[in-house]
Amino acid sequence: MTEFLDDWGLTLAIFLPLVGVAIMALIPKAEEQLHKAVALIASLAVVVVGVLLVVEFDFDRAGELQFLVDRSWIDVINSRYILGLDGISMPLMLLTMLIVPLCIIYSWNHFPEPHNPKAFLILILVLQTGMIGTFLAQDLILFFVFFEVVLLPMYFMIGVWGGEQRQYAAIKFFLYTLFGSALMLVSFLALYFLADGTDTIAGVANTFDMRALPEAATAVGITAQLWIFGGMFLGFGIKVPMFPFHTWLPDAHTQAPTVGSVILAAVLLKLGTYGFIRIAIPILPEAAIEWAPFIGALAVIGIIYGALCCLAQTDMKRLIAFSSVAHMGFTMLGIATLTDFGMNAAIFGMVAHGLITGMLFFVAGSVKERYHTLEIRRLGGLLISAPKMGWILGFATMASLGLPGLAGFWGEFPVILSAYNPAEGLSVEVFRTYMVIAAVGTVFAAGYLLWLYQRTSFGTPSEEFVNDPHIHDVEIPEWIAWAPMLALILILGVYPNLVFEMTDPAVGLVSELVAAAGR
Amino acid sequence: MFFLENAWIIPSIPAASFFLILFVGKRFPNKGSEIGIVAVGAAFILSCLAGLAWIDRVDSSDHGAEAVTEAWTWWQSGGVEFTVGTLVDGLTVMMLFVVGLVSLLVHIYSTEYVKGDRRYTHFFAFLSLFTASMMMLVMAENTLQLIVAWELVGVCSFALIGHWWEEKANSDAALKAFITNRVGDVGLLVGVSILFFAAGGTFNIIEINTLANEGAITHLALLVASVGLIAAVMSKSGQFFLHTWLPDAMAGPTPVSALIHAATMVVAGIFMVARMYGVFWEGMSIPVANINLLALVGGVTTLVGASLAFVQRDIKKVLAYSTISQLGFMVLALGVGAWTAALFHLFTHAFFKACLFLGAGSVSHACHHSFDMVADMGGLRKYMPHTFRTFLIGSIALAGLPPLAGFWSKDEILAGASQLGGGGNGYPVVLAMGMITAFLTAAYTTRMVYLTFFGEYRGHGTPHESPKTITVPLWILAAFAVVGGAVNLPGKIVPDGWAYRFEHYVEPVAAYFPSVSHPEFQWGFAIIATLIAAAGVALSYAYWFQGRWHGVTERNKLAASGYRLLENKYYLDTLYTDIIVGSVKGPVARASDWVNTYIIDGVVNTAGERSAQAGRAVYTHFDQKVVDGAVNLSGTASSDAGGVLRLMQTGKIRQYATLFFAAATVLAGVLVVIV
């Protein structure tokens, strides 16, 4: 078993969804129940693989890549099929594995217009392959391919199943992200040409091997490093999204179907932040030190600016989308400190944000389905019309504003803490200023979230909805989809070490590289 | 020792009760209230046992007892494991006793007071959660845990203030409470972060305090950290100028006001300063200064609160401002170095103020749920003898007249302000503030008692005395308000074995606590303070009971404008709600959104359109087949999903990929060559 997992575990985790896709491709479109069953089984099979991987994972060596696979792939450019799982990848991989089946269950009885479960579910499964692949790839080209694979399914999901302005939102999402990844690819190629991997694990001069590149890239001059980091910064930064590259996000979220929004918020945004921790910082620590104050500045601007925009929104879903900008600002601030504290908190923040904001989008979707509107002015009294859903929204709101005891807190306070003492080579004064701004951001977060909750859930239902028979409380598929997320938000909030234990050793290696460069 | 080492059980019981009530409470015969009462009762009994165990521990050691700590791994970062645990010492067991007792009485009282409420079960669930969080707060082993519990009590406060959220005024009050507290929490987050690094990377309260005491942390770090923490005290404990949420919080049910917004949660700030006293002692230069920020905040607050209590018509608002004022007293005491006096006052205040709040609730229970003293009350002493007597006892204790509990703690604070501080000169400014407050307190208390219980009944119907579930808790609290002061009687009055028991058992004698000095009881000083309070009662009596000087605000311009200033609460609410929050929610937020739509996104859209135009130009002039794909991809609203779909189907995706990689390679080549 162990041997089998060592060789095939990660590959299975990535490509099992595609097996599901292949089966579904053979089934006629009309067999809807069958499609749902196959998709669910495929995603659950991935969960089983995930559980096995967790069982076999050696947590004492969480800093090392485990279940490593290294096979030749594109020999002409020395790009190899390298997969590996360590403490940084693990939480994000598990998050993805969890979210996908929950999305399938949630959609069970109500696929958005124009229906077509076959196509919709196939897209979700393809998306899953791309997402998990991105978190496991240890070769830049392989990483890039998975990173791009994610784009198309999401593009179609928004463009076909989305709201009224879906085409504009879809193409904007696609082009904007593509623009970033183009520059990212340029950076990868420049690294390939400039780094010297002869004496590393790669054994050749030009390599895309992410294990070898931190050492190999020390040969790259600082100017080139800065440029290369800049390209990656745009590629990852747009995906996060960082201020001022965030404008695709509210449109995409507002127009996307519910599960599209959930996946987008829960996983897709993390591809960017993950890229910083996994690729940009360890490979180019010197450039990272130069760029960090700038990234930190954009992060704290994003925190305040996102919050202010939230206060101006009249649409619930758009408000939640803007809150992502603010929350990812915290994550990016943690990353910008380049410390183990900051990056640990950032990874925790990614997982927490995935669960919490995913949950908020789920509820928003269910509200939309019942009220046929998300205009905040027309909502109100959710606690009367659908009390359980009102409670769930309240819970998610509290988690989102960083209430201690729930997951959101652990992505927020440690970030603020870490900004007090950034990595060596960074200006203490600058980061302490960021710290205070970020702390002030928590006030705004409470403001816009509680105000949203007050307007949607407190009070009494407006006359147009007071006797509406469509407005009913949480249904069974919703419970099944939400219960694991709600439980995890609480469990991780109470005992955060479940995540920190994994990430800390792995992040420690990254921060050591930075510390070495800072001296 | 068992009860000290396993103190974690105490908050766990009400915490479990919260989930139990929330999920199955409605199925119980009393709708879950019995679960809450049993759980809090059990927690209270365990708290008492822990208290006895602590007394035993102190008695059996010669040089003061070390705190009992337990810790478990909670999370890790940077290779360091951080713990969660319990820290039990005299301060903790004292707080556990207060929280447990008041909470239990409030639970019993509430079974009658909120009977038949639409959210009876939820009410008790949140009371349980609050009790658990508050007990967790007072036994926090590290500052991070303190933050967690600090926020949790805040969220309970939010939920209970907004208990009747159907009315917007109530949910507004809840939001105001939460958000104002968040403002102060900025200071808490910053302060805790500074202390974490200043103490070499630890949240451990004992370690931080010990290092601060030993002088191992720079004065500057302690100063900045304590200023940050004071901001948190200002919001949580209703200190000027972040106190404005507390009067509004009276929108919640009265038992909640008694428990959370008078006796326990609002003293969290006081507790935190007391807990981190090593930090404040050095950071605020308490032993050598004659004025400092902490004392000043307390002094100003106590005056502001007392003056505003005068102009309220609503009995709960009088008590709310009175609470602000009394909390200011405690902060003042901590600021001048009278640690024990502050905690002693916390102890006595919890009982008499809870007694007064519950009494006010009992009164309103009789008067058709009105709290308006002027319109709906008066003359109630005839109808509600038990409520009247207990309320009177609470009022005398609040006014600080001997020999009730409030007198002893107040006197110790004022004595501290006059004797401690640099060169033994005391803190003259805050002493004056404290004296004026003593006068004002006595006066507004008299006014409140007059308006409620004397004169003619002004409401409609016939008021009735409340049932035993309400009056028994009132009598218990009144009894504590009478005898509570006995726990710390001065040595000049009682034999040594009886004197200063509170100080002996509560005040830590350990490396983590600074060597505080204690004010001496002086007969002359105590008599003066009593006379000042008596003068307040007398003047107020003359005005209200005998009707002298009525109409002064109409005749005198200065008095009129003073009254208006007070009526408008020093215009702070106008400043916060209308000017600051109003502009952020309105113009500032809209401006950000405008920038987002028209500038940042405008750039993106323009870029998209321009490239689409460029694409179209290229398309018409150059090779159509190859560039076709790029055009479709760089189009904006004009393109549609079909475009890309078509690309895929016709195999152009490969062209795109080739093009893409080629372009990237060229660009990378350029980059490599240039730099």
Q: What is the pLDDT of residue A176?
A: 84
* pLDDT at residue A96, as a whole number: 94
Q: Residue A150: phi, psi to the nearest 5?
A: -65, -30
Rounded average pLDDT over A474-495: 91
pLDDT in tens, B38-75: 999 999 999 999 999 888 888 887 766 788 888 898 98
Higher-confidence residue: B599 or A51? A51
Q: Quick one: residue A184, left, alpha or beta (phi over 0 = left, psi -120 to 50 = alpha)?
A: alpha
Q: Give A 53-72 residues with CB within 8 A of chain B.
A: none
Burial of B29 (0-12, 13-18, 19+ CB in 10 A): exposed
Q: Do residues B86 and B70 make contact, with C-beta atoms less than 8 angstroms apart? A: yes
The predicted structure's pLDDT at residue A349: 93
Of residues B441 and B604, the one with the higher pLDDT is B441
Nearest alpha-carbon partner for A285 in A347, A343, A364, A206:
A343
Distance to chain A for B273, nearest Cα, Å: 21
Beta-sheet pairing, A66-74 with A79-85: antiparallel
Q: How far is CA B26 from CA A95, B118, B128, B390, in A?
A: 35, 12, 15, 34
Do B87 and B65 contact (CB within 8 A), yes or no? no
As a whole number of angstroms, the distance between CA B406 and CA B397 comes to 5
Q: How far apart are CA A259 and CA A123, in angstroms?
A: 11
pLDDT at residue B675 in the model: 60
Nearest chain B alpha carbon to A433: B190
The Cα A422–Cα B256 span in angstroms is: 43
Q: A163 with A255: CB under 8 angstroms?
A: yes
**What is the chain A residue with the closest CA to B173?**
A454
Per-residue tokens: B459: 């409401």
Query: What CA–CA distance (Å, rounded) separates A33 from B55?
Result: 69
**Per-residue confidence (pLDDT) for residue B228, from 0 to 100:** 92
Per the CB < 8 A criterion, the answer to whether B336 and B280 are in contact is no
Q: Which of residues 271-330 of A touch B (CB under 8 A)?
A: 305, 308-313
Mean pLDDT of B641-648: 46
Q: Measured over all CA atoms, what is the biggest interatomic distance in chain B, rounded to whole angstroms? A: 107
Given this model, what pLDDT does residue A204 score?
Answer: 82
Answer yes or no: is pLDDT of B354 > 50.
yes
**B387-437: per-residue pLDDT in tens?**
888 998 999 888 888 888 888 888 888 888 888 877 777 888 888 888 888
A–B CB contacts, 8 A cutoff, strictly below: 198
Q: Is the pLDDT of residue A229 over 50?
A: yes
Residue whose tokens read 């009132």: B474
Averaged confidence pLDDT in chain B: 83
Phi, psi torsion values for A313, nearest 5 degrees: -75, 150
Strands B68-77 and A66-74: unpaired
Q: Which residues pair with B77 in a beta bridge?
A: B80
Describe chain A by its helix, strand, coil percentages, rounded to 5.
75, 5, 20
CB atoms within 10 A of CB B584: 18
**What is the structure's pLDDT at B385?**
86
CB B298 within 8 A of CB B233: no
Per-residue buried b or exposed e for B618-640, using 16+ beta carbons within 10 Å of the residue's own CB: beeeeeeeebbbbbbbbbbeebb
H/E run at residue A74: strand A66-74
Average pLDDT of chain A, as a whole number:
89
Residue B86's SS3 state is strand
Q: How far is A3 from chain B (nearest CA, A)?
A: 30
- Tell me how close the Cα of A352 comes to any Cα of chain B, in angstroms: 15
Does the pLDDT of residue B575 top 70, yes or no?
Answer: yes
d(CA A252, CA B201): 42
Average pLDDT rounded to a whole number, residues A383-388: 86
Measured between CB atoms, does A8 come within 8 Å of chain B? no
Computed from CA positions of residues A320, A321, A327, A329, in that sequence, does the dihedral angle turn out positive or negative? negative
Percent of residues, chain A, with pLDDT higher than 90: 46
Q: What is the mean pLDDT of residues B234-239?
A: 90
Supply φ then ψ for residue B82, to 5 degrees: -110, 150
More confident position, B675 or B544: B544
Closest of B312, B10, B299, B262 to residue B132, by C-alpha: B10
Percent of chain A with pLDDT over 70: 100
Mean pLDDT lowest for which of A127-136, A415-424, B508-517? B508-517
- A392: alpha, beta or left? (left if phi > 0; alpha if psi -120 to 50): alpha
CB proximity under 8 Å: A 225-244 to B: 227-228, 231, 244
Quick one: average pLDDT of A336-350? 92
Q: Tens digits of per-residue pLDDT, A170-210?
A: 888 888 888 888 889 989 988 888 888 788 887 788 888 88
Among B122, B161, B189, which would you mutate to test the A interface (most chain A Cβ atoms within 10 Å of its Cβ)?
A: B189
Quick one: pLDDT band at residue A332, thresholds 50, 70, 90?
Answer: very high
Query: pLDDT at position A353, please?
Result: 94
* Coil/strand/helix, residue B545: coil
- Residue B549: is its pLDDT beyond 80? no
Tally Cβ neighbours within 10 Å of residue A152.
Answer: 18
Q: Pick from A244, A310, A497: which is nearest to B76 by CB?
A: A497
Closest partner residue to A417 among B74, B171, B193, by Cβ? B193
Tokens linked to B610: 């321009």
Q: Please say if the pLDDT value at position B632 is more than 60.
A: no
Q: How confident is the model at residue A133 (pLDDT cuts 50, 70, 90)?
A: very high
Yes or no: say if B250 and B320 are a contact pair by the CB < 8 Å rule: yes
Q: Quote the minimal CA–CA distance from B167 to chain A in Å.
A: 6
pLDDT of B371 above 90: no
Question: How many other β-carbons are positioned within 10 Å of the β-carbon of residue B338?
Answer: 30
Min Cα distance B259 → chain A (Å) is 22
| Confidence (pLDDT) at B622 | 61
Q: Is A451 on the interface with B (CB under 8 A)?
A: yes
User: Taking Cα atoms as reference points, which of A272, A286, A283 lies closest to residue A335?
Assistant: A272
In whole angstroms, what is the distance from residue A169 CA to residue A256 CA?
A: 8
Sign of CA dihedral B609, B614, B617, B622: negative
Tokens in use for B329? 């007293």
| Confidence grade of residue B621 (pLDDT, cut at 50, 70, 90) | low
Other C-beta atoms closer than 10 Å to the C-beta of A27 total 13
Query: Residue-wise over B409-443: b if at least 16 C-beta within 10 A, else e?
Result: bbbbbbbbbbbbbeeeebbeebbebbbbbbbbbbb
- Mean pLDDT is lowest, of B2-6, B244-248, B588-592, for B588-592
Cβ of residue A196 closer than 8 Å to a chain B Cβ: no
- The yes-or-no verdict on residue B629 having pLDDT over 50 is no
Please report, as a single letter, which amino acid is at residue A95.
L
Give the model confidence (pLDDT) of A290-302 as tens digits: 999 999 999 999 9
Residues whose CB is less than 8 angstroms from the CB of residue A203 and which lie 6 or more positions away in sequence, other chains included: A197
Q: Tokens 């307190």 map to which residue?
A: B441
Can you give the pLDDT at residue B660? 65
> By C-alpha distance, which of B133, B299, B275 is closest to B209?
B275
Kindly report the length of chain B. Answer: 675
Element housing B149 (H / E): helix B143-161
3-state secondary structure B440-462: HHHHHHHHHHHHHHCCCCCCCCC
pLDDT tens-digit readout, B442-470: 888 988 888 888 888 887 778 888 888 88
A404 vs B147: CB contact, 8 Å cut-off?
A: yes
pLDDT grade for B288, boundaries at 50, 70 and 90: confident
What's the whole-number mean pLDDT along residues A423-451? Answer: 90
Whether residue B628 has pLDDT greater than 60: no
- The answer to whether the Cβ–Cβ distance between A172 and B151 falls below 8 Å is no
Q: Which residue of A has its CA nearest to B584?
A: A308
Angle at B351 between CA B346 and CA B357, to 5 degrees: 110
Q: How many CB atoms lie within 10 A of CB B80?
A: 12
Token pair recorded at residue B492:
């000049």
In the structure encoding, which two tokens stand for residue B584, read together? 């952020």
How sure is the predictor about A488, in pLDDT bands with cuts at 50, 70 and 90?
very high
Probe site for chain B from A309, A460, A502 (most B CB atoms < 10 A): A309
Q: What percent of chain B has pLDDT over 90?
A: 22
Question: Do A511 and B78 count as a contact with CB atoms less than 8 A apart?
Answer: yes
Q: Which two tokens stand for residue B377?
A: 């009350």
Which has the minimum average pLDDT: A10-14, B499-503, B559-563?
A: B559-563
pLDDT tens across B158-197, in order? 999 988 888 888 888 898 889 889 989 999 999 999 999 9
Which of A186, A227, A421 shows the shortest C-beta gap to B664?
Answer: A186
Q: Determine the pLDDT at residue B187.
A: 92
Per-residue confidence (pLDDT) for residue B576, from 0 to 100? 74
A 10 A CB-CB count for B548 gives 11
How far is residue A419 from each of residues A298, A422, B82, B196, measured CA to CA in Å? 14, 5, 18, 12
| Alpha carbons B538 and B532: distance in angstroms, whole number | 10
B224, B290, B414, B543, B566 from B437: Cα distances, Å: 29, 19, 11, 18, 15
Q: Identify which of A247, A310, A312 has the shortest CB distance to residue B601.
A: A247
DSSP state, residue A139:
B
Contact B229, B335 (CB under 8 A): no
Q: For position B661, what pLDDT does the model report?
A: 66
Residues of chain A found within 8 Å of residue B193, distances taken between Cβ atoms: 416-417, 420, 435
Q: Are B483 and B408 in contact (CB under 8 A)?
A: no
Q: How far is CA B335 from CA A118, A175, B216, B282, in A?
A: 70, 60, 22, 11
Of residues B116 and B477, more confidently modeled: B477
